Structure 1
């Protein structure tokens, strides 16, 4: 340990700074007492007084209790390999299938009663995602609309990335659109909670202020930061750059509980605020899982029916080498926990069950449901080592001691922990990279296949078929969450999307009592048809105290696309209906030439073809 006196004598810049700012001397003693003063000779030996001043300004925010736990974990690494004597497999509750209709009804009722909030984990820096940015042109076979307009930046938070296949809605917009549609449909808008970090917060706040959010009330969104923690080197010492800045990271998505419980400027924590609005439960998921499906009624109803404090969403694991946590039961105390693949005995990981699948097949997807009254902040930490970080002109292996939200299970009554199993392609589309496994590339394929299956179910055709479509469709959630709701708006019957064509629709209201779409829409090869309403719900009526919400039909954009309308091969037709504008495209209209047209608020336009 380096004491304050020896540091003053060996580091002239530090001595100069302490002469100018003697208030730092007491904190220097604190650093020495905590064993954290080695950062000076290791990383700040040549730092200027200004750089050292920056270091002290940042270091006053250090949590030394956390650093002590981190160092203890480094000094006492757990090399645990769990075997059959430690664990038993956990399977999905058969009642989730037997009582699905009942659970769905209960889930829908709970949405209408305002019992849910939706929380998005959006604190990650997206290091892997941004590391191969040159691959972005390979990620999709066709640039989406936002990419075409150049509205994508390398270092933006992942939540801002234009992920939807045709329009290029961001991850944030996708989730918000789903929650908004559900809220409008049931008359009660669930609060949208977004947990950011010191890396993602400011840009997320800026983005949400400027993005198209279809009249979403700003009071419905709660933006809050997780705490940050310092990275340590392999000796357990703080890491600092030559400019004096510490190397920080978020405290893991398990930091969500402390962040929810932390009082804000008005004295209330986020948890207290949403509880005051009638929220009893929160569903949480990753920003990069476009299939999050937060308000899936069957899952909500199951969580409520079984009186769960915490419900883990899982999908069936089919590959024993898949790098995913598995829900298991500890034999010692009966607790259900998510066990990382790296600590599970390989033979146990690959063990078959009698039906021919894997015995340990409950793959955790980090979509979890929490009873708000069960919230606790005292989660165990998890040590991560070996991540290189740049310090000056070289790299240093760093470690972190983070929390994972699923480890709340270790603090709760095991009788109140549940698993809910879903179909992988319906609830799990992780997007960790631009190309390859779990990437923009795979998400594009899964999303377009899902839309093609919907069109097929509605009586239409997509080139290449529903499993490997060679044309790409995207429907904004305002068209409805189910196939039946889309059918009621005229989607799909007799439609045909030829090779390379692209379709995006964001329309909710037709003209008068007529649905917005009619049978027979045809898109020729390599054509594009984009039809957007700026206000599909009109000017929403929202009461923040009870979160009731209603669409305002009079002020909504309205459209009628008649029967057998055709967009000719190669034509690009982009139509934007602003405000309460109205647009009619009569039966049989054919558009041979591409064009873009904006229908102004109050305007009534008819397009007969071109």
Structure 2
């Protein structure tokens, strides 16, 4: 039987079982405005700064990939899921190749950390081995597992299975900071001279891995961290939004925002509470060290676990890092360019919608390059050819069609 910290679990149970519901009416909630990066006059300077940092070897990437593809009908790590592109690229392959494109431009590989879970760790590594790590330099990639915490029965005693083994559950995405340090990966980053770490989830098909402009924006701001945000589709869209809560940056979940605040508009009719969270962030390395050494708040949920109803599960949330750090740089982007989640089997945020968004974006890149295209066709362009639409031409299109550029 695995060892667990019974005293720590007792402490959490005592804290949450006696916790009373508290009102948030006293919280001071204010909008946290942002500018669209494409329209910012500093964009060119940010890009130059970011590219310089890459050449110095000062940037790393960190992917959270502990999830399974069960909601998609896929039995395996979500990152290994072929979500329908003509090339059959998985989410892992797309992220790897985008980082390799940046590394080639910088003249050196980019350190890449991938956090798995005990549920998919061996399968994730096997996926990379089966595909020769997609050509990625193996000395610059590390896998490690996120932490687990034993679930508790309704009475606060540890939950065990029929074999008497403790039933554990992931400790939440906020545990990524502790796992990064505990695994030695944070020290690995520091040894390699990393100063900025791009962090994202695995399930965004359009994620611009370690975007140099994004990195440069944080570097020039002097702030501890940055987040990419998108305008909400409308007031009713169920997405977490960045706001100021009691003077500190926070992400407010849809259910935590009143109708009054949700629908509040500026003089020009735009939403005051905008800034949808995309799950793409950059942290200074010192910020990661600070978070890893200071425990984030714990949260409790009552769920059915292993057939036992109303069990206690404890988690930490990544979003609690932002009020802890105190300040943040919000970097506005267009969702059509960078945000295509693969979460649901059908409908919104599905493989079908993600493929369509990627195809539309890549068609736009080709149109901007004055390439002659078939009407109504969508296109997939390999990240080895372009990172964000650069280096495309009619000559490249004719040469790569069916090899690095695909119609669908």
Q: Normalising by structure 2, what TM-score?
A: 0.90
Q: Does residue 506 of structure 1 match 2:407?
A: no
Partner Cα distance (1:441, 1:367) in 2: 22
Contact 2:128–2:134 (Cα < 8 Å) also in 1: no
Question: What residue is the counterpart of 2:304 in the other structure?
Answer: 388
Q: Which runs of 5+ in 2 are unaligned?
A: none
Whether 1:479 aligns to 2:394 is no
Q: Residue in 2 aligned with 1:91?
A: 33
Alpha-carbon RMSD across the aligned residues, in angstroms, is 2.6
SS in 2 for 1:338: strand
Distance 1:213 1:167 in 2: 17
| CA displacement 1:214-244 (0-9 Å, x = unmatched) | 4322111111111111223444343222232
Does residue 179 (structure 1) correspond to residue 99 (structure 2)? The answer is yes
Q: Distance in 2 between matches of 1:170 and 1:312?
A: 25
Matching of residue 365 in structure 1 with residue 278 in structure 2 = yes
1:103-127 CA distance string (max 9 Å, x none): 1111111111111100000112344
Which of 422, 434, 440 matches 2:333?
Answer: 422
Gaps of 5+ in 1: 1-56, 134-153, 465-470, 496-502, 508-527, 531-610
1:462 is matched with 374
User: In the alignment, is the contact (CA less than 8 A) between 1:473 and 1:504 conserved in 2?
Assistant: no
**Partner Cα separation in structure 1 for residue 338 and residue 197 of structure 2:** 17
SS of 1:409's partner is helix
Name 1:352's counterpart in structure 2: 265
- Alpha-carbon distance in structure 2 between the residues aligned to 1:320 and 1:302: 28
The structural deviation recorded for 1:326 is 1.5
| Equivalent residue number for residue 346 of structure 2 | 435
Against the structure 1 CA distance between its residues 411 and 292, is the aligned structure 2 distance closer, same or farther, given a 3 Å change threshold? same
Once residues 462 and 63 of structure 1 are traced to their aligned partners in structure 2, the CA distance between those partners, rounded to angstroms, is 64
Residue 71 of structure 1: how far off its partner (Å):
4.5
Is the 8 Å Cα contact of residues 69 and 81 (structure 2) preserved in structure 1?
Answer: no
Pairs aligned (count):
403
- In 1, the alpha carbon distance for the partners of 2:383 and 2:227 equals 25
**Superimposed CA distance per residue, residues 524-577 of structure 1 (whole angstroms, 9 cap, x where no aligned partner):** xxxx889xxxxxxxxxxxxxxxxxxxxxxxxxxxxxxxxxxxxxxxxxxxxxxx
1:179 touches 1:190 (CA, 8 Å); kept in 2? yes
Report what 1:284 is aligned to.
199
CA distance 1:426–1:529, change in 2 (3 Å) = closer
Structure number, greater radius of gyration: 1
> Do 2:145 and 2:179's aligned partners in 1 also have CA atoms closer than 8 Å?
yes
CA contact 1:318–1:361 (8 Å) conserved in 2: no
1:6-405 to structure 2, matched below 5 A, reads 57-58=1-2, 60-62=3-5, 64-81=7-24, 86-93=28-35, 97-127=40-70, 129-130=71-72, 133=73, 154-163=74-83, 165-262=85-182, 264=183, 269-331=184-246, 334-375=247-288, 376-377=291-292, 378-391=294-307, 396-405=309-318
CA contact 1:479–1:489 (8 Å) conserved in 2? no
- If the length of structure 1 is used for normalisation, what is the TM-score? 0.62
SS in 1 for 2:329: strand
- How far apart are 1:341 and its partner, in Å? 2.0
Are 1:312 and 1:368, in contact at CA under 8 Å, matched by a contact in 2? Answer: yes
| Change in CA separation of 1:346 and 1:401 when aligned onto 2, cut-off 3 Å | farther
1:388–1:357 distance in 2 versus 1, CA, 3 Å: farther
Give distance in 2, aligned partners of 1:349 and 1:181. 40
1:407 is matched with which residue? 320
